Chains A and B, each alone.
Chain A
Amino acid sequence: MSDTPSKAQASPQGDVKTDLQAGLKAGTLDELYAESEHWQVNAGGETIHAKRLPGRWRRIKWLAASVWLIFFLGPYVRWDGRQAVLFDIPNRQYHLFGATVLPQDFWMLSLLLLFFAILLAVATALAGRVYCGFFCFQTVWTDIFTLIEEWLEGDPRQRRAFDRAPLSLYKVRVKSVKHLLWVLIGFATGWSFVAWFYGALPLWRDFFTGQANSAVYAFVALFTAGTYLLAGWLREQVCFWLCPYARIQGVMLDRTTLVPAYDLTRGEPRGRLRKGQDVIAGQQGDCIDCNQCVAVCPTGIDIRAGQQEGCITCALCLDACDQVMDKINRPRGLIRYASLDELEGQRVRPMLLRARVWLYVGILVLSVLGIGYGFSTLVSIELNVLHERSPLFVELSDGSIQNKYTLKVLNKSNDDLQARIAVSSPVPIEVRGIEHDLRIRHGEVTPMMVFIRIEREHLTGESIPIFFTADATLPDGTEARAERESAFFAPEP
């Protein structure tokens, strides 16, 4: 049931009519109904021209969408004289502020992907397609594209008329400006995308002089065309018919999921409000069938028909209906974020008391902790020790036993380093191969061979622990150290 205390419910029915009448300014209703004439099932046959209304959710939507500014501005953030975040694919290293991540650290990427996948699933289970409605690039870019359309061609009614109007010089001019702007935004999108990988400054330098490689031009062209086509032409058709995520989200909703919903019990029976005509008490619900909720819907659906696949949870219909409710002096929230349970009057558990929510939070926290651990333990050098297997050991002339090891030293810092290798063991050993420091180039693995000999009388068993360490001094004076334990194998005594 409605959670908003309704003044109308408390007052005698006679007052309702008075309230309704009093709330209407002359002409308002006619305007609303005039707009409502245009509606059809959205099968892609006709372009949806959604009406833009200011409101609470509209503001939230802008706020959420502005997160995408990071995408455009991010490549210009500098850190330590370098682009702060740079996915340097040719050199297979990823700079995230001070840290450099090499392919070896990619388990963190898995955790990051897990985090976002779970986050998406959690968000869907808790509040439906909120990602679609507020963050998705398809939604956001389409929103910007249609905003441009509105500036140039006017409101939805004018736009439809303009589309039908015969070709004229004026029409060609307006349309070409629109498409040019769309293409420009598409270009900026492709450009910014590539900048994350190529480096923003080199891109400015190389792109227009024709010095960037063909992959750069191909990607920018692809993104420009893609953005123009998807956000300019396909728009909500992507959310309806193309997006794979939209397909799977349907099964992730349940009775407790909050989605924009039309309060059937309060709204029905809907009926048009006519000036001077009495509303018969108890025969009409709060919905005055003004179709405002449909007019503003960017996917062109009628939320009053219930939750459906086309709804991207953008809540714009909430703004629209709330404004109508204000006008007719009824409480807001005829369309509101509500769960099926709530609408059907079932007991609704607060979110924080639901086991599922805590399970989700648990997984999210764990993966964040994992990533945090990964970053805090990022070391500059890494050491791996491979023990030779054939032969496992070699007997030498004097009866001592020799083992062969291949050390692989990985330099994850940004500078070439000199690594000092040291070996220790509980028994006396003779080491060959570590006399000189090992030059390790940054971002590379450098192998080296080490031979260890143990005199016959010092062999304490078939396997003796051996400890390897690699030390290097970074240019800023800090010491990096990597340690590995391996074993020395000997024949049965």
Chain B
Amino acid sequence: MADENPFPGENNTGHFWDDNIRELRNPPPRWWMIAFWLSIAWWVLYGLLYPMWPTPPWKLEQTEQQHTRGMLGWTSIQEYKQGMEQVEQVRGQYEERIAQLSADEILADPGLLQYTIASSKVVFGDYCAACHGSGGQGNPGYPVLADNDWLWGGSLGKITETITGGRKGNMIGHQNILSEQEVDTLAQFAVDLSEGREASDEAWTLFNNKGCSGCHGPDATGVLGTLPTGDVITVGAANLTDRLWRFRPGGFESAKHTILYGVNQSGVEQTRDAVMPKFGGAGSAEGRLDENQIKKLAVYVHELGGGL
């Protein structure tokens, strides 16, 4: 090609297109070359300062890729740990105060309450939501936590007690004790009370004579007595006078089922299951939550909307 170079003496590469378009050998500008060498120097320097160069595993059993450590000793895990430490520091102040305060005092402190609710959301999701629903809306067989019907009491103290120690309801099945007619009467009694109707005297008599009032209370509200603190004494029996049903959907047939087969009766196939596991007592086999977590969770559950 060089022989037919139409531009002899010109500093070109000998490549031509369209007769006169050709590639020249002009050197890049000086500043460009300086920048070029500076970037290479920067790259080398960076490689010296930070972990960069891969090295082969030294020992046979070592499958992990090795690399140079870099003169600054920087590692990503260290940076991550420092970041976590910072987060812990911010949380630490709150956690410390929560440890010192009672659940009632947390409830009274708006700032702390916000932190508690935000940080309990995850714990609730991990341990409670599977049964009680993500927002405490309940599931068939599992009570709603967002309403104001509490079989075991809805004060902060009672909720804490429930989470810590768990709960197990107990109602014997009446299939062999009551006649079919009596079962129907009592089921209708529960439906009537729930819908705000007057129950018949005959039903009330049955309710009292058959020992129902021993657990459900003389007025069928599930409350056996009230302490000076306002907390109620219950054995976890349902309030028959409110509109809410422990075993949804509720209604006549559902009530009948509960009366016939009871709750948590071993050996009774169709009995209702109602067990809340124990989450407290850290160190024990069941204890999965520490005291602070339970305290925070109690506040969270209380604030789902139905706390008393």
A contact set with B: CB distance below 8 Å = 43-45, 233-234, 237, 241, 388-391, 394-399, 402, 404, 438-439, 447-449, 451
Minimum CB–CB distance from A435 to chain B (whole Å) comes to 12
- Per-residue CB proximity of B95-110 to A under 8 Å, as 1/0? 0000000000000001
CB A112 to nearest CB in B, in angstroms, measures 33
Knowing A391-B137, A397-B148, the reply to whether A237 touches B303 (Cβ < 8 A) is no
Can you report 28 A-B residue pairs in the complex whose CB atoms are below 8 A from each other?
A: A43-B29, A44-B30, A44-B31, A44-B32, A233-B31, A234-B31, A241-B32, A390-B134, A390-B135, A391-B137, A391-B144, A394-B144, A394-B147, A394-B305, A395-B243, A396-B148, A396-B149, A397-B147, A397-B243, A398-B242, A398-B243, A399-B196, A399-B243, A402-B305, A402-B306, A439-B110, A449-B117, A449-B303
Q: Which of B31, B133, B136 contacts A237 (CB 8 A)?
A: B31
Inter-chain contact B30/A404, CB cutoff 8 Å: no
Quick check: is B203 within 8 A (CB to CB) of the other chain?
no
Asked if B62 is an interface residue, CB under 8 A from chain A, the answer is no
Measured between beta carbons, the chain A residues less than 8 angstroms from B266 are none
Tell me what chain B mostly uses at the interface: helix, strand, loop, or mixed. Answer: loop
Shortest distance between the CB of A438 and any CB in chain B (Å): 8
Contacts of B133 in A (CB 8 A): 390-391
Question: In the complex the two chains form, what is the Cα distance from A399 to B305 in whole Å?
Answer: 15
**Whole-angstrom distance between the alpha carbons of A234 and B134 in the complex?**
62
Chain B residues with CB under 8 A of A404: 146, 304-305
**B68 on interface, CB distance cutoff 8 Å:** no
Closest residue of chain A to B138 (Cβ to Cβ) is A391
Which residues of chain A come closer than 8 Å to B29, judged between CB atoms?
Answer: 43-45, 237, 241
Partner among B114, B135, B148, B149 whose Cβ is within 8 Å of the Cβ of A391: B135
Given the known A-B contacts A44-B29, A44-B31, are A396 and B147 also in contact in the complex, defined by CB atoms under 8 Å?
yes
0/1 string, B262-279, CB within 8 A of A gives 1: 000000000000000000
Query: How far, in angstroms, from A241 to B110 measured CA to CA in the complex?
Result: 59
Write the nearest CB–CB distance from A279 to chain B, whole angstroms: 34
**A389 and B135: CB pair below 8 A?**
yes
- B130 → A minimal CB distance (Å): 14
Residue from A397, A402, A438, A449 within 8 A of B244 (CB atoms): A397
Q: Which residues of B contact A438 (CB under 8 A)?
A: 110
- Which of A237, A390, A397, A448 gathers the greatest number of chain B CB atoms within 10 Å? A397
Residue of A nearest to B32 (CB): A44
B243 neighbours in A (Cβ, 8 Å):
395-399
Contacts A390-B137, A394-B137 aside, 7 further interface pairs with beta carbons under 8 A come to A43-B29, A388-B135, A390-B133, A390-B135, A396-B147, A397-B149, A448-B110
User: Residue B11 at the A interface, CB < 8 A?
Assistant: no
A233 to B35, CA, bound (A): 12
Which residues of the partner chain A approach B244 to less than 8 Å between Cβ atoms?
Answer: 395-397
Residues on A with C-beta less than 8 A from B229 are none
B18 to chain A, nearest CB (A): 21
CB-CB contacts of B1-43 with A at 8 A, as 1s and 0s?
0000000000000000000000000100111100000000000
A398: chain B residues at CB < 8 Å are 242-243
List of A residues within 8 angstroms of B196 by Cβ? 399
- B293 near A: Cβ within 8 Å? no
Nearest CB in chain A to that of B241: its residue: A397
Q: Nearest Cβ distance between residue A426 and chain B, in whole angstroms?
A: 23
Contacts of B133-184 to chain A: CB distance below 8 A = 133-137, 144, 146-149
- Nearest CB of B to A40, in Å: 12
CB distance A451 to B305 under 8 Å?
yes
A297, B244: Cα distance in complex, Å: 89
Contact assessment for A394 and B239 in the assembled complex, using a CB-CB cutoff below 8 Å: no
Question: Contacts of A451 on B, CB cut-off 8 Å?
Answer: 305
A398 to B244, CA, bound (A): 8
User: B239 to A397, Cβ gap below 8 A?
Assistant: yes
Bound state CA distance, A362 and B284, in angstroms?
74
Task: Give chain A residues whose Cβ lies under 8 Å from the Cβ of B304.
Answer: 404
Q: Which residues of B contact A233 (CB under 8 A)?
A: 31
B30 adjacent to A394 (CB under 8 Å):
no
